[in-house]
Amino acid sequence: MMTQGLLPAEFFDLHCYVGKWDHPGTNERYAERLSSHYPELEEFHAIFGARLADVKAHLDKKAFCDYSDADRRLARLAWSWVIVAEAVEVFKQARVPDSKMYWDIQVEAEI
């Protein structure tokens, strides 16, 4: 996969997460969390989380309708980070403990 242009230039260091975490919907992001080994979740949480303020500042500079494809990928990575953060910060594992629940969310609009 070509990495140049996948993300805005200042976020090139995060391009290695695009293949795994750039999913169009919440269900796909949650499924990726469930299929991941916990150390992968911890790594993504730490590395992307360290850049989260920069990501937010970058995306907040323009209206959502003006996002480039690279901006949209970056936003989807941020949304994946949120799902991963719950696993790392709250449950300390990919799955919700003592639950067989799986999200089935209807997404209003895909980007």
The per-residue pLDDT for 3 is: 52
Q: Which two tokens stand for residue 57?
A: 């500042």
Q: Quick check: 102 pLDDT over 70?
A: no
Whole-model pTM: value is 0.84
User: Distance (Å, rounded) from C-alpha 79 to C-alpha 46?
Assistant: 15
**In this predicted model, what pLDDT tens digit does every residue of 50-100 receive, in sequence order?**
999 999 999 999 999 999 999 999 999 999 999 999 999 999 999 887 665
Residue spans of the domains in the chain: they are 18-91
- Residue percentage of the chain with pLDDT more than 70: 84
**CA nearest neighbour of 77 among 96, 56, 103, 62:** 56
- Please tell me what DSSP assigns to residue 105: P
Q: Phi first, then psi: what are they for 38, rounded to 5°?
A: -55, -40
